[in-house]
Amino acid sequence: METGPWGRTMILTDLQVLTLVRAHPGLNFYQIQKAASESMQKWHWSIGKIQKAVRRLEESGKVETETVISGGRACVLVRPK
C-alpha span between 68 and 73 (Å, rounded): 8
Asked if residue 23 lies in contact with residue 38, where contact means CB atoms within 8 angstroms, the answer is: no
Instruction: Report the candidate in 40, 9, 30, 35 with the shortest Cα–Cα distance to residue 20.
Output: 35
C-alpha span between 60 and 78 (Å, rounded): 14
The beta strand positions in 12-72, using DSSP E, are: 27-28, 63-70
> Mean pLDDT in the chain?
88
List 27's β-bridge partners, or say none. Answer: 78
Q: How high is the pLDDT of residue 3?
A: 52
Q: Which domains does the chain have, with CATH numbers?
A: 5-80 (1.10.10.10)
Prediction pTM value? 0.84
Residue-wise pLDDT tens digits, 23-60: 999 999 999 999 999 988 777 889 999 999 999 999 99
